[in-house]
Structure 1
Amino acid sequence: MMSDATRTEADEDLLQYPAPQPVVHYAEQALLGALLLVPERLKTIGPLEPEHFANTAHSALFAAMRTVSPPAPEVHRSSPVWPNQLLYVAQPQARALTASYLHTLISVCPTDAHAPAYAQMVRSGHARRVLRRHAGLLAQAARAPGPDPAQTVLTRADQLAVYLDELATAFPSHPGSMPRTPAAPTAAVPPSTEVSDEERMLLAAATAHPEHLPRMRWLHESDLTTPMHAALFACLTSLARHGAPVDPIIVLWEAQQRGLLHDGFGPTEVLDTVSHPAGAPEHWGQKILQRALLRQALDVAARIEALSADEATTVHQLTTGSRRALAALSSVRSRWHQAVGDPSSRTRAAAPTTIRTAVRQPAARAGPAVRHPARPAR
């Protein structure tokens, strides 16, 4: 065991100063204190559920308030019947609840007349937590391998869009609705060997079959992760667009004309990259585009997590910023559906019961509706 003499100053500070509670914790306390003081305030606080509380004990206490009928006002003023009944019902779900803590809740409530304002704060805190949870699920879907990762990501994105629609209705706009939180920095992930190999296979296949490139407008050079590969793909698409002949030597010449050659990537490397084709360009292009879709989903999740971590943003600012972030995914998903001709793109996924127990058909969504163009002629 560490002796007192070996404890550092930082250890002492950690023991003496626990992490402060979030602001919404005090709003939950004030609301419950108001309802303990005046049970009739339950009728004035608007729609509120036990799961809206971040604190488990607070959630159990509010659930008990929804279950136990309060006594008559004159009885409540003269006897602690209401608090005792609440403790009896809530304590099996929250052992930390005590009569002393109920007195604390009452003492920290500035005024019971402000219960509706406290309830709105509790709803805002819950909305922030659920939005962050949606972002986490979107990021998890983008990282987790699976048989159809693109569809899993798009399903999560649709569920996030539905929730944003609900927030936009529940929390109306106000002046200064645009979020001021800086965008989360995009993590620079070096391409893996597998990714680089797929990009080289695309370039070689496109060099051997340039007639396919006009049908692959759904693939952009920004979808490739290696800068030199992206530049060579731009060379190929430019040649195909102008109807010029294409072979490895012509691609090398085009790369030279664009100033792409350097000591680390000279003629030998270019010829090696665009030669030895295997498979169709569309096959490799779809693989690359799917990776771009997953990367964009990770960027969206990181942006929403950064917004929700900023306590200074209102729920409407969170909604506005999250919709803008999600809109960046719409362009990539539209191109993905063009690439695969996915008929399921017409159907919008329902929200998962683990996040929302019920959803409404929204009037508007975070991004433009998915278009489903016909498969290009092969």
Structure 2
Amino acid sequence: MMPPLGRRAEEALLGAVLLRPQQLPGLRWIHPQTLALPGHQELWRLLHTMDPATISPLTVHQALRELSEQRDQDRDLPSGVALHALPPHRLSALADACPDPRRGALYGGMVLDAAIHRAVDETGGQLRQLATADVASPAEARTVLDQTQHSRRRLERLGDSWRAVPETVRTILDTPMDRKISLAERRTAARQDLRAEATTIASLLSQPDQLPHVGWLQPGDFADRRNRTTYQAMTALADRHAPIDPLTVAWQAARLPGARHSDHELAELTRTGLPCRAEHAGTQVLTTAALDRLDAAGHRIRQAARVPAIAAPVLLTEAEAAIAPTGRDHQRLQAIEHDHQREHHGASEQEPAPATYDTDPEEIDL
């Protein structure tokens, strides 16, 4: 739904051009798609095809009607919107809605600001949709994250559009907020795999020498805060070449903030842990965490986009910061994939095992 102020800004921009059409050539940095309403887009596109000296509500209405008739006759032309829905009195109303026709560039900046908020909101929704993909491997998760490049490029283009705004307009609209904005957090995680997390932790506790093989795993990949603390404690001990057992891990975890397993729980995890399972289960932990962070990024971006008080450049910076962790996740998933490929190639390049025979070779009839 379009905010009332966004509609008023579009009406003021169009009204300013209808009343002072000589400023139209200096407003070409405002693309038709910047306006939200289809009728406003069509009108803005048409205005740029007309001689500014001839623009008035009456001549614009005549041009709209001719364009509408042309589209009705030529099926090769896009149908567009009902252009006849902008009669002279509607165009006059647009002119009347303009507070000051001399400020077309400022109203245009407001329109672009609103358009950036809409586009960022839409980008956040697309990221959340991507996060729902059904994936079963790091390669598939990396393919999903590859698609976030489109979102990054879109944010970059929006930034370019804002930098094309006249500096005097940007100076007015880039007003810093005088209060801190608190964005609503997600109520629940979109994805979590507690079984894979428990398997990873238990396997590492039972066989700590697996830790170097999951060096790409990070504490933040664990949704369960106790697993997160336990993994952080184990990596801290490993970095100091200290012994890793339920008691030392519990002792180290007690020095870390947040929830943690008791020493009895750690002993039970150690007892039930399966050796050589940490890398496989840890890969699933990272895959799940990467997609959940993608959903979290989309949520945060959408929440920020729905706060009109956040100026466009600040919003774009916030969106880029929210999406940045997905790039790091992509690199880690790619590293895992390359490791698996090297292991596969290494195994295939080994000397083949000698042939075995069910009978004595000398007895084989050649």
Q: Same fold (TM over 0.5)?
A: yes
- Is the 2:230–2:253 contact (alpha carbons within 8 Å) kept by the matching residues of 1? no
1:145 equivalenced with 2:134 (yes/no): yes
From 313, 336, 344, the equivalent of 1:316 is: 313
From 78, 81, 90, the equivalent of 1:94 is: 81
TM-score of the pair, normalised by structure 1: 0.69
Q: Once structures 1 and 2 are overlaid, which stretch shifts more, 39-48 or 124-133?
A: 39-48
Question: Which digits, 9 at most, give the CA deviation of each residue in 1:291-326, with x for residues without a partner?
Answer: 222222222222222221111121111122223323
Q: Give the Cα separation in 2 of the matches to 1:160 and 1:179.
A: 30
Task: Give the equivalent residue in structure 2 for 1:158.
Answer: 149
Q: Where do 1:96-175 residues align within 5 Å?
A: 96-146=85-135, 150-172=141-163
What is the number of equivalent residue pairs in this alignment? 320
Q: CA deviation at 1:44?
A: 1.9
Task: Give the equivalent residue in structure 1 for 2:355.
Answer: none
Q: Give the Cα separation in 2 of the matches to 1:179 and 1:328.
A: 28
Question: Which digits, 9 at most, give the CA deviation of each residue in 1:133-192, with x for residues without a partner?
Answer: 111111211123246553245334333332333333433475765895534343353798
* 3-state SS of paired residue (2:111): helix
**Structure 2 CA distance for partners of 1:115 and 1:190, relative to 1, 3 Å:** closer
Q: CA deviation at 1:109?
A: 2.0
Task: Give the equivalent residue in structure 2 for 1:82.
Answer: 60
**Structure 2 CA distance for partners of 1:116 and 1:186, relative to 1, 3 Å:** closer
From 33, 38, 55, the equivalent of 1:56 is: 38
Q: Give the Cα separation in 2 of the matches to 1:238 and 1:221.
A: 11
Task: Give the equivalent residue in structure 1 for 2:264.
Answer: 267
Unpaired runs of 5+ in structure 2?
70-78, 164-169, 348-366
Amino acid at match of 1:89: L
Q: CA deviation at 1:20?
A: 8.7
| Greater fraction of residues in helix | 2
**Structure 2 CA distance for partners of 1:71 and 1:168, relative to 1, 3 Å:** closer
Task: Give the equivalent residue in structure 2 for 1:202.
Answer: 200
Task: Give the equivalent residue in structure 1 for 2:362.
Answer: none
Task: Give the equivalent residue in structure 2 for 1:7.
Answer: none
Task: Give the equivalent residue in structure 2 for 1:302.
Answer: 299
Q: Give the Cα separation in 2 of the matches to 1:239 and 1:81.
A: 79
Q: Give the Cα separation in 2 of the matches to 1:38 and 1:301.
A: 41
Amino acid at match of 1:309: R
Q: CA deviation at 1:224?
A: 1.2
* 3-state SS of paired residue (2:193): helix
Q: Which has the larger radius of gyration?
A: 2
Q: CA deviation at 1:340?
A: 3.4
- Is the 1:28–1:58 contact (alpha carbons within 8 Å) kept by the matching residues of 2? yes
- Is the 2:124–2:301 contact (alpha carbons within 8 Å) kept by the matching residues of 1? yes
- Is the 2:58–2:88 contact (alpha carbons within 8 Å) kept by the matching residues of 1? no
Amino acid at match of 2:231: F
* 3-state SS of paired residue (1:267): helix
- Is the 1:30–1:106 contact (alpha carbons within 8 Å) kept by the matching residues of 2? yes
**Structure 2 CA distance for partners of 1:111 and 1:234, relative to 1, 3 Å:** closer
Amino acid at match of 2:214: M
Q: CA deviation at 1:270?
A: 4.2
Task: Give the equivalent residue in structure 1 for 2:221.
Answer: 223
Amino acid at match of 1:224: F
- Is the 1:131–1:308 contact (alpha carbons within 8 Å) kept by the matching residues of 2? yes
Q: CA deviation at 1:48?
A: 2.4
Task: Give the equivalent residue in structure 2 for 1:251.
Answer: 246
- Is the 2:141–2:287 contact (alpha carbons within 8 Å) kept by the matching residues of 1? yes
Percentage of identical aligned residues: 24
Q: CA deviation at 1:238?
A: 4.5
RMSD between aligned residues: 3.9
- Is the 1:191–1:225 contact (alpha carbons within 8 Å) kept by the matching residues of 2? no
Task: Give the equivalent residue in structure 1 for 2:185.
Answer: 186
- Is the 2:205–2:269 contact (alpha carbons within 8 Å) kept by the matching residues of 1? no
- Is the 1:46–1:116 contact (alpha carbons within 8 Å) kept by the matching residues of 2? no
Amino acid at match of 2:80: Q
Q: Give the Cα separation in 2 of the matches to 1:105 and 1:80.
A: 13
Unpaired runs of 5+ in structure 1?
1-18, 344-374
